[in-house]
Structure 1
Amino acid sequence: MLDEKANLGGKVAALLGGGGGLGAAATLALARMGVDIAVLDKDGAALEETRAQVEALGRRCYAFEGDVLSSDDVKTFYENVGTRFDRLDIVVNVAGGVRQRDFLTSTEEQDAEDIRRNFGYVIQSIRLAVPLIERGGHGRGGSIINYTTIEAYRGAASFSVYAGAKAANANLRRALAVEFGRRRIRVNEITPDTTPSAGNANALLPELAATMIDTPMETLTAAMAMYIPRGESASAEDLADTVVFLASDLSRAITGVNIHVDGGTSAAMGFINWPGGGYCPAPLGESLSLLFPPK
């Protein structure tokens, strides 16, 4: 019954950044629901692996190796989508990324790259996708889904330009949801917090990433349980399930919204379950002595 109500079989999705990691999970989730796939990714090996998995599910897959930093790559991708498929129904803008750095030491070139990779290409992607979505007429409509990050909704020190670029997606999402409403094109947003992925690990300062590698897994798990109300990070599959929902007719009346897929960290807004002290924005009492033992 849910598959019938979702009405995804035979539709076509374009996923930018859908070749590996979080993006691959979304690509494969849609393919399992009967969606044909067009995917752009800069990681050629991951892209080929995902293409093979999509085709093993019996779905068509056009895989294009390219980088969203290149406007020519994005343009070529959509041109090829238009010639290889007779329709486009779903667009998922997954790609993004950053390297942790202080605002005052980052260069104009680094800032421009952060803005393009996390916001600029999304504008181009949507602008090129809409004519393909509407090729069959205004009535059919479509679903556009943008990945952002919790850093777009909090003061993410040492990720300032990245956070600003991601936050720009929020008002783009709202404005386009209104502008595209009569076109029956929905625009929504998925916002994860910390999710296990190579991209998240690579974003950290090298010394911080090295510390995490050396930290026992049980310690990292306990830290996440303390930080995340649900007790564990959202998985790539959790995000992919949300993509399926937003792509499908199950959400046909939902547009202009943001869904936090984060286990409750956005709801907590800094209230952490400190060991020995319970929920509080900062550690107090016994929590202080546990975290900072007397010397």
Structure 2
Amino acid sequence: MTKNLISSFILTAVFISLLFLAFNSYKNAKIYENTYKQYAQEQTIKNSVEKNTQEMLNGLIGALLGQNPKVTKDEIPSKKLQLENLKEKPIEYVIIFATIITLSLLSFFVVSKKIFLTYLHSVTILSLVFGLISPIFMMYILLDYNFQNIVNIKDAILQFESLTIIESINKLIYVQEKYFVGIIILLFSVVFPFIKTLLSFVNVFINHVSIVNKTTKLLSALSKWSMTDVFVLSIFLVYLSSVNSGMSKIVTQIEVGFYFFFIYVILSIILSFFNKIKIQ
């Protein structure tokens, strides 16, 4: 009894630390997203043209007046350096998050099965939730063109977008009207994962034989669709492929939401393994 209480206390403390790491990763990801959004607004074609035109006019006026052209400090490199630093923070939290989960799985050998499965289900749901609400990818379209070598608007940002899985589903269904793809991702990234994990969680605490048999059969049926989680990740990876097109190029980068969802997929596979052990 005392051993179970100590085990429960330790794993609860571990779960709280994981919650702290996940929240900080999410918070820093949103800071990075908002900072990049501000940077993208500064790098629009209009702002780029105005800035370069103003610099060119200042140079011409200075030359006519016999003044040496003023060298203005370029703020873009420092801004990009700031963005790189902000980008690393949420990734660092995710790495620590994944490392702690990996090490905590060893508790299977020293704690009771019920306590371990309770912890494992809680961490799986936690990973899924933050995988759904954290930014999963960022995309921006750059104008890669020098306008007749007069006004340099190279790398001006035409469009910027950062979305979570939930926002992606909303956009696919309500904005782009791609109902089939949107509903597929909704089912296999939100509905099925929650049903499967919650059913498995409930199954840990139920001792009634008939109910256990029913939930076990349902879980077995859902397990046949387990690879759909990987399928959803594949869809996003294809969607995130960089494309170059003439005067512009589409640049995409994976955000922390993708890693949280990937961790959920791995934990879901591990849970399926333990469910099979329980059935046998």
Instruction: Specify the TM-score bucket, using the shorter chain as the normaliser.
Output: under 0.3
- Larger C-alpha radius of gyration, 1 or 2? 2
Greater share of helix: 2
Give the TM-score, by structure 2 length: 0.26
Give the TM-score, by structure 1 length: 0.25
Relative contact order higher in (CA < 8 Å, ≥ 6 apart): 2
